[in-house]
Amino acid sequence: MKEHIKDKFIYEGKAKKLYTLKGKTNKILQEFKDDATAFNALKKGTIQNKGVINNNLTAYIFKHLEKHGIKTHFVEKVSDTEMIVKRLKIIMIEVIVRNIAAGSLLKKTNLKEAQVLKNPIVEFYYKDDALGDPLINDSHAIAMKLANQKELNYLRKAALKINSLLIPFFKKRGLKLVDFKLEFGKDSKGKILLGDEITPDTCRLWDAKTNEKMDKDVFRFDLGNVNDTYANVKERIMI
Ligand SMILES: Nc1ncnc2c1ncn2[C@@H]1O[C@H](COP(=O)(O)OP(=O)(O)O)[C@@H](O)[C@H]1O
Ligand SMILES: [Mg+2]
């Protein structure tokens, strides 16, 4: 671990805190919290050890993606709950990839829960808590100047490539990747990198044999002991 000094607090979100690093302008520190929220923060709680688990899982998964040619913000893990990342100007679009019908897709389509999709669905949501993160299309994103067409095409392509890497990654670990959310941003040179996190907060993961839910849905819908679920997912993934 290299020397680093946590400097100024930048932002506290629902799951993480961001800090500047002394003497560095292009890198920041991302600290993962135990706080859990759902339904646009209407439901609040904590999940035991979530900060440690999600920091470790994100580091592990981002390293795997980097190894397979995905450009990400990840630099290095520096403590149980903290990692250094490249500072990005976040593109305010949540990119969702779906392999199996679940969650909000069931309210928008005639698809039934657990129906396997022949082709993955990629969706864009406007990252805006006040508007409740609405589903948008390319024209909406361009009208709001969130990204241009070329960038939207890139986000879609990158999200599908990440999906094709993560499906076998999770399968090997006894988990089905039902759907997940990605955030991208631009680095100091304007290059688009994968940012944020990949964790049971941002993925739907089902047990490969039983379809048991092993992600934040356990917290959302009180399906069981969510502390055990997160600990179990970490054990399965970090092999
Ligand atoms: N590399 C990065 N540089 C700057 N901001 C980032 C980076 N990665 C993620 N972020 C942003 O930092 C915040 C992370 O905190 P989080 O608790 O997830 O916030 P939120 O409640 O907005 O989802 C998010 O707003 C996310 O978009
Ligand atoms: Mg977030």
Ligand 1 mutation pick, 19, 40, 90, 131, max ligand atoms within 8 A of CB: 90
Kindly give the distance from the C-alpha atom of residue 69 to the centroid of ligand 2, in angstroms, as a whole number.
24
Copy the structure tokens of residue 58: 């994100």
| Other Cβ atoms within 10 Å of 112 Cβ, number | 9
Element holding 160 (H helix, E strand): helix 149-171
User: Rounded to 5 degrees, what are φ and ψ at 188?
Assistant: -60, -20
183 lines ligand 1 (CB under 6 A): yes
- In whole angstroms, what is the distance from residue 29 CA to residue 84 CA? 5
* CA dist 179 → 72, 127, 155 (Å): 19, 17, 16
The overall pTM is greater than 0.85: yes
Q: Which pair of structure tokens corresponds to residue 118?
A: 């022949």
Instruction: Specify the length of the chain in residues.
Output: 239
Per-residue model confidence as pLDDT tens digits over 128-177: 999 999 999 999 999 999 999 999 999 999 999 999 999 999 999 999 99
Q: Is any atom of ligand 1 closer than 6 Å to the C-beta of 90?
A: yes
Locate 83 and state its tokens. 């990692």
Instruction: Report how far ligand 2's centroid is from the alpha carbon of 183 (Å).
Output: 9
| Contact criterion met (CB below 8 Å) for 115 and 87 | no
- Span 42-91, pLDDT tens digits: 999 999 999 999 999 999 999 999 999 999 999 999 999 999 999 999 99
Q: What is the 163 CA–ligand 2 centroid distance (Å)?
A: 19
Q: 94 forms bridges with which residues in the sheet?
A: 125
Q: Calculate how far, in angstroms, residue 197's C-alpha sits from the geometric centre of ligand 2.
A: 8
Q: Is 186 exposed, middle or buried (0-12, 13-18, 19+ CB in 10 A)?
A: middle
Q: Rounded to whole angstroms, how far apart are CA atoms 134 and 62?
A: 27
Binding site membership of 216 for ligand 1 (Cβ less than 6 Å): no
Tracing tokens 């941002």 back to the chain, one arrives at 202
